[in-house]
Chains A and B, each alone.
Chain A
Amino acid sequence: MDSFIQQLINGITLGGIYALIALGYTMVYGVIQLINFAHGEFFAAGGYVGVIFLSFFTGLGYMESYPVLCLTASFLLAMGYCAYLAVGVEKIAYKPLRKEARLAVLLSALGVSIFLSNGLMLTQGVYDKAYPSELFQGGFHFGNVTVGYLQILIVSLTATLLVALNLLVFKTKIGMAMRATAQDKTMSALVAIGSNRIISLTFAIGAGLAAAAGIMVGLYYGSVRYDMGFVPGIKAFSAAVLGGIGNITGAMLGGLIIGMVEIFGAGYISGEYKDVFAFIILIAVLYFKPTGIMGENIDDTRV
């Protein structure tokens, strides 16, 4: 029973991270119907920029005196950096192709993904880059169950970001504009919503969330790698599909489910095949219920 609860806690932690990445996929898909292959690279870039700033602050000696401030600053800077990256990528590689065939944008996105991951490799090196490890050691112990401080941080931060996003999308004018653009670009343009700005904003928010997830993964596993965006990217995409692509609540739920399935699958079935479970869920969902658990109105062209 103890191990079950432990797995549950680990699953929630991982699921939250997947949910953050999945949101970027689902929001971009909702607005321009494109699978942004480069999204996994935004996540990896976030992890790298996070470690760069964290070690910079450690080098300056601020890390010991103001750890919370430094961590917050690193998160904000990494999120800002990735938002900046994503907006540029959208302008260069996706926007000119918006009217072209679907295959062209998809191939362009794939090219960007390869380009970015190799750009990271060339600037940061092929080897793993270690996160400062002295942060958030230890945790609470309840019998045999351990809840690390880091896990509490990750879960609470994820929850905060998700609530903030929900408020942004469902309670503000900008969110209303985003939803309007997702539903009908022509009509929203008629009521004076600039679709280009909304698309840029969507990319920026998605990439910012992915960057936060990147730092969390770096803190959780202790290191980052230039190609770390690939597998979590597909899993997060599976999560987005599971929840119903284009649906924000669905992506959060899907992320949690994928995280749980991966942890429990690794714990009770086979650790070696843990990456396979997410793909099997993806294929099964697309085959039996292509609209996902939360998706309702999907027109024929989407699936």
Chain B
Amino acid sequence: MIQEFKKVWKQYSITMLWLLGLLWPLLGIHPDGTLSFEKTVTVWSYILAGTFVCLVIYIINSSGHLKIFTEPVVGTTRKFSGIAQAMPSWIWLCGLFVCAIIYPLLTGRYATDVAINVLLYICLGLGLNVVVGLAGMLDLGYIAFYGVGAYTYAILNVNYGLAFWFCLPFSAFFACIAGCIVGYPTLRMRGDYLAIVTLGFGEIVRIILNNWMTLTNGPNGILGIKPIGILLPVMENGFTFEMFWVKKLAVFYYFALALAIIAIIAVKRLNFSRIGRAWESIREDETAAELMGVNTFNYKLLAYAMGAIFAGLAGALFAARMRFVSPESFTFLESVMVLCMVVLGGMGSIPGIVLGVIALIALPEVFRELESYRMLVFGSTMVIMMLFRPAGLVPAKRVGMRSEERE
């Protein structure tokens, strides 16, 4: 076993020595002119122990010695999936739906708050999935559209007193316009250039939000946004309607749930439509797609607009929930976080993205005391996923086969 994995062990020990050399100047050299080694060695040995355990498990697993433990697990999961496949999938979906409905009744305010976050990010992740997963364009300024949606509702509501339901289409519309504005000049580029330009565009939007004092109130943000209002029939003295403001989180949860479900259905339908096929063909080979008669420019622009619409809707809902928007909510790191969810779950796969969002929103809430390591984990997750499982946790199912697979 040691012999077989000699190369792995060698690489691992070189990496660890490299890391030690990297850590020491940062931790061991002090401004008062002293040198120390204890802190460096402590931090390093923690990392060493953690990675060592992971590596040993990985090696035992790939050499097949872990079968004693994995076989029963695999057996039971197979049994379960056999049962799952025996029943039609709508039963499972209904079960999930019922769970989602009764969730706020069973849990407290805090858990509901987290769940709302998850639902909003599902919407965002699915929108980004259209751009990154289906059309294959890396968008690093995606959060800008979320910001445009949120600010549209905030400004229309605070300055003109317009209601949420009236502003919602406007949020989607302006986000869509923003998507077309960034899409139109950038779609001639491919891959990496697109990533940098969208990143720059995201920063431009944030800087504008930060500096356009008369419209956005700058870094102070906009306060006093009205929550969602719905008209409820009242039977007391005759039949009248009364305005009901959704201030309770548990009620708001259902709106977020509705939006997430709409997004899931819409993305699924898009994926299996003619448009989705066109997007996937662009992702696989743009030149070939164009030769087959796909209007690549229009479809790429459409992908941008679609992604932006989802972000705009989620943004409006975000503004209605927080009742306060400020440019700080729409930084580059937020874009990266959404991207990380899509990458972790699996680009192009809807259940994967839902899983990715839950993993990256709910797990940090569980491990609250490790909060400061969150972005560190996000970064390394992205690298590790790319190295070992580029298709994500739940890889998207391919439609059809490549010619080489068929043979």
Contacts and interface: CB of A to CB of B under 8 A. Distances in A.
Given A103-B191, A107-B343, A115-B383, A60 B196 contact: no
Interface in A25-62: 34-35, 48-49, 52-53, 55-61
Contacts of B140: 110
Interface string B82-102: 000000000000000000000
A303 B189 contact: yes
Contact of A123 (B27, B32, B192, B340): B27
Interface in A78-137: 81, 84-85, 88, 92-93, 96-97, 100-108, 110-120, 122-124
A92 B18 CA distance: 11
A95 B209 CA distance: 39
Interface string B367-388: 0000011011011111100110
Contacts of A81: 22, 25
B22 A85 contact: yes
Nearest to A126: B372
B174 interface: no
A114 B200 contact: no
Nearest to B343: A107
Contacts of B361: none
B138 interface: yes
A98 B350 CA distance: 28
A55 B332 CA distance: 32
Contacts of A114: 333, 336, 375-376, 378-379, 382
Given A59-B31, A279-B201, A286 B378 contact: no
A102 to B, nearest CB: 5
Nearest to A102: B191
Interface in A279-300: 279-280, 282-283, 286-287, 290
Contacts of A55: 31
B395 interface: no
B379 A52 contact: no
Given A97-B387, A111-B380, A122-B376, A275 B29 contact: no
Contact of B379 (A96, A115, A231, A275): A115
B80 interface: no
B33 A106 contact: no
A111 B339 CA distance: 10
B196 A237 contact: yes
Contact of A59 (B33, B197, B332): B33
Contact of B34 (A59, A111, A290): A59
Contacts of B188: 286-287, 290, 303
Contact of B192 (A88, A106, A272): A106
Contacts of B23: 123
B21 to A, nearest CB: 7
A53 B29 contact: yes
B185 A122 contact: no
A85 B20 CA distance: 11
B136 interface: yes
Contacts of B136: 103
A176 interface: no
Nearest to B35: A56
Nearest to B213: A272
Contacts of A108: 382-383, 386-387
Nearest to A282: B200
Contacts of B203: 231, 234, 275, 279
A273 interface: yes
Chain B's interface size range is 35 or more
Interface string A221-243: 00000000011001001100100
B31 A112 contact: no
Contact of B189 (A58, A234, A290): A290
B382 A111 contact: yes
Which of A92, A100, A103, A283 counts the most chain B CB atoms within 10 A?
A103
Interface in B103-143: 132, 136, 138, 140
A263 to B, nearest CB: 17
Interface string B338-371: 0110010000000000000000000000000000
Given A92-B15, A107-B386, A279-B203, A303 B26 contact: no
A303 B193 contact: yes
A111 B25 contact: no
Contacts of B193: 241, 286, 290, 303
B386 A97 contact: yes
B389 to A, nearest CB: 11
Given A59-B34, A110-B336, A123-B23, A234 B196 contact: yes
A166 to B, nearest CB: 26
A269 interface: no
Nearest to A245: B193
A287 B185 contact: yes
A280 B207 CA distance: 13
Contact of A104 (B26, B189, B386): B386
A60 B34 CA distance: 8
A114 B210 CA distance: 23
A290 B32 CA distance: 50
A168 interface: no
Contacts of A77: 25
Given A49-B25, A106-B191, A111-B386, A234 B200 contact: yes
A104 B386 CA distance: 6
B29 A52 contact: yes
25 contacts: A35-B195, A53-B29, A56-B29, A56-B31, A56-B33, A59-B33, A84-B21, A85-B22, A88-B18, A100-B386, A102-B192, A111-B378, A114-B376, A115-B376, A115-B383, A116-B379, A118-B373, A118-B375, A122-B372, A241-B193, A276-B207, A279-B203, A279-B204, A287-B185, A290-B189
Given A112-B383, A273-B211, A275-B207, 20 more contacts: A34-B192, A48-B26, A56-B30, A59-B34, A92-B383, A100-B386, A102-B192, A104-B390, A105-B386, A106-B191, A107-B382, A113-B379, A114-B376, A115-B376, A124-B26, A234-B200, A272-B211, A279-B200, A283-B185, A303-B188
- Interface pairs A-B: 3 shortest CB-CB: A59-B33, A111-B382, A115-B379
